[in-house]
Amino acid sequence: MNALNVDNLTKYYGDLLAVDHISFKVRQGEFFGLLGPNGAGKTTTIRMLTGLLKPTSGTARVMGIDVVKNPVDVKAQIGVISETANPYLEMSAWDNLMFAGSMHDMPKDEREEQAENLLKLLGIYDRRNEKVGNFSKGLRKRVTIAMALIHDPPLLFLDEPTAGLDVQSARMIREFLRKLNERGTTIFLTTHYIEEADLLCDRVGIIKSGKLIALDSPENLKAANREEKIVEVSFGKYITGIEKELVKLSAVNRTKKRGDKIQLYTNDPSKVIQEISKFAEGKNLKIVSINTLTPTLEDALVELTGFSSLDMERMEQIGRLRKIKMKGV
């Protein structure tokens, strides 16, 4: 049995088609990612799959249970962590978990055992009696994750779980999720951090304008784009606009600046390396390093959607600002 079966799932908001007849399956024990820019339909999809939003048409089954017909039964099978989910700040971490467990009718001793295990795994057991309002954003997110897992659900939904977190907190949460998945929990992740999906996911679906336009493992998605290679070069000094000159080389398709390095996309890396050497000699530039790379998952995403991770992050930030403004109206 699959953890998730989605068949022609569709959602209209008036005349706006937000999710367009998408179909896919998520295997039990799989770490599945859904990628796409803000407004592509990621959050709407999760809201339908978790019973928070009724689809216009189509079906979704969680652990074999119809989400629309039996939403209460579905909630017992899932944990949900949305970008906006927060613990109760005036309560301690421990009391937040006790409250979350009571919502699932868990016996007191079972709640306490599960809470102790989760807080230890997430590294906050020693602060269990502190008010969450005193916690950093990263620690609050850990409490939120523990609350979603208190009833030990077989399927966990995560909507942008590391958005806005510092590097250390994000890394800790990714490592926790990886271990959780290794122990058998199925995880459904939406993120605009493409590297995060590449590191964690067994398979990735890419959604654009409500349509599921690609579905495969990260490596297969990258392989589909491997006719084009990348030559990455750094020079002893940077010349303003140098990438505009490099893109004129005969074997270069396009260029991208990455810190102090420039990436040149090509179908003939050997020729590009020769041309770079001549270019550097003509400009009296020293080549500090030069490497041939294979395309990344981000390159595959750009090829499929036209959006880079930076574009997606900016769009997500704009979307969050709009939500904040709407709340303040």
Could you report the per-residue pLDDT of 39-81, keeping only the tens digit for each?
A: 889 989 999 999 999 999 999 999 999 999 999 999 999 999 9
- What is the rounded distance in angstroms from the CA atom of residue 54 to the CA atom of residue 41? 14
Question: Which of these, 56, 76, 51, 44, lies nearest to 66 by C-alpha position?
Answer: 51
Burial of 70 (0-12, 13-18, 19+ CB in 10 A): middle
- Phi-psi label, residue 240: left if phi above 0, alpha if psi -120 to 50, beta otherwise: beta
- What is the rounded distance in angstroms from the CA atom of residue 245 to the CA atom of residue 258? 16
For the segment 281-293, the average pLDDT, to the nearest whole number, is 91
Give the per-residue pLDDT at 59: 96
Give the per-residue pLDDT at 309: 59
Give the per-residue pLDDT at 225: 61
The answer to which of 100-114, 199-213, 278-292, 307-321 has the lowest mean pLDDT is 307-321
Beta strands in 142-298 (DSSP E): 155-159, 186-190, 203-208, 211-216, 229-235, 252-258, 261-266, 287-293
Give the per-residue pLDDT at 85: 78
Please, what is the average pLDDT of the chain?
Answer: 89
Please, are residues 203 and 217 in contact by the beta-carbon 8 Å criterion? yes
Give the per-residue pLDDT at 329: 42
For the segment 12-25, the average pLDDT, to the nearest whole number, is 96
Could you report the per-residue pLDDT of 200-249, keeping only the tens digit for each?
A: 999 999 999 999 999 999 988 887 766 778 899 999 988 888 988 999 99
Q: What is the DSSP string of 101-170?
A: HHHTT--HHHHHHHHHHHHHHTT-GGGTTSBGGGS-HHHHHHHHHHHHHTT--SEEEEESTTTT--HHHH
Q: Which tokens in the block code for residue 246?
A: 């490099």
Give the per-residue pLDDT at 324: 45
Percent residues over pLDDT 90 in the chain = 70
- What is the rounded distance in angstroms from the CA atom of residue 74 to the CA atom of residue 46? 13
pLDDT higher for 329 or 222?
222
Give the per-residue pLDDT at 7: 97
CA distances (Å), origin 124, targets 74, 77, 146 = 29, 25, 10
- What is the rounded distance in angstroms from the CA atom of residue 265 to the CA atom of residue 272? 9
At residue 123, does pLDDT exceed 80? yes
Give the per-residue pLDDT at 317: 57
Q: Which tokens in the block code for residue 249?
A: 């080389």
Could you report the per-residue pLDDT of 293-304, keeping only the tens digit for each?
A: 877 888 788 777
For the segment 108-119, the average pLDDT, to the nearest whole number, is 96
